[in-house]
Amino acid sequence: MTRGKLTTVVCVALAVAGAASATPAGAAPPAWAPAGAASVHPGVQTFTDGGQCTANFVFYDADDVFIGQSAHCAGTGAATDTNGCDAGSLPLGTPVEVTGASRPGTLAYSSWIAMQAAGETDANACDFNDFALVRLDPADHDTVNPSIPFWGGPTGLADATATGAKVLSYGNSSLRGGLAQLSPKEGVSLGQSGGGWSHSVFTVTPGIPGDSGSAFIDKQGRAFGTLSTLALLPLAGSNGVGDLSRELAYARAHGTDVTLATGTEPFRGPILPLP
């Protein structure tokens, strides 16, 4: 698998994992920068040893502020290396360039590394738990806002999407050549697999390489997923979106407990006449 590129898969089959709440006990939200002035926010690009991805949501704990990306963004193998229990990864502590930040962040959590350390044997979790956290340098904390460009929110954390339900995203791959009007995406869920570990989605426009990790929210603005794969089935151009509640639950169970930051800007979607 090439870092920073969507992984091509033919089908999605996923396992069940426990749901996570949005807020761990004891964590108070930081004072965010105004959305209009913030240079670090969902949708900025991240570069891990040159591999490009798109940041999804902002998270925090009692001490630090994080921005999310896909675990495969730090992968060291080929584009077909999708099994996080045996795929190579750069180590925790690897510098990650975050667009808009004055200093590199560091890779603080990787589901791939966590699963390998735990000796994970659930094949579906190994294949589709694709989530990482980048710890931002304290010098950049006052430049961060958790609001999603164009859409606003997130308004909270969701744990499911029904087939045909509205989905929204924001991808900012450099392959779009700076065409900002192509960054917001709107579409529908094609259903969940494996007890809810993954959501297949179809959006206008579909995610492309460099969009890996992008935030996905439902029609209430609730965060439900992070972009992981470009699929050929069930619909060419559809995407596989990892379930955020389960990704966070796995991180929490393996020593990384963070809060999903809700947006300071009001949720403004959806806009198309879809369910």
User: What average pLDDT is seen over the chain?
Assistant: 85
State how many domains the chain has: 1
Query: Model pTM?
Result: 0.88
**Nearest residue to 249 via CA among 194, 196, 181, 185:** 196
Is residue 96 domain-resident? Answer: yes
pLDDT in tens, 43-65: 999 999 989 999 999 999 999 99
CA distance 53 to 69: 7
- What CATH number corresponds to the domain at position 135? 2.40.10.120
pLDDT at 272 over 80: no
Looking at residue 26, what is its pLDDT?
Answer: 55
Residue 13 located in a structural domain: no
Q: What is the pLDDT of residue 161?
A: 83
The pLDDT-based confidence of 209 (bands split at 50, 70, 90) is: low
Q: Is residue 169 part of a domain?
A: yes
Lowest-confidence region among 51-55, 80-84, 235-239: 235-239
**Residue 269 counted as domain residue:** no
Any domain includes 233: yes
Do the domain assignments include residue 20? no
> From the CB of residue 204, how many other CB atoms can be counted at a distance below 10 Å?
13
pLDDT tens for each residue of 142-163: 999 999 999 999 999 997 788 9
Q: Which residue range is the domain that position 203 belongs to?
A: 41-260
User: Does pLDDT of 253 surpass 90?
Assistant: yes
Q: What are phi and psi of 152, to 5 degrees?
A: 75, -170
Rounded mean pLDDT of 259-268? 97
What is the distance between the alpha carbons of residues 219 and 274, in angstroms, rounded to a whole number?
Answer: 10
CA-based nearest residue to 96, from 120, 56, 67, 65:
67
What does the alpha-carbon distance between residue 147 and residue 160 come to, in Å, rounded to a whole number? 21
Asked, for residue 184, whether it belongs to a domain, the answer is: yes
Q: Within a domain: residue 139?
A: yes
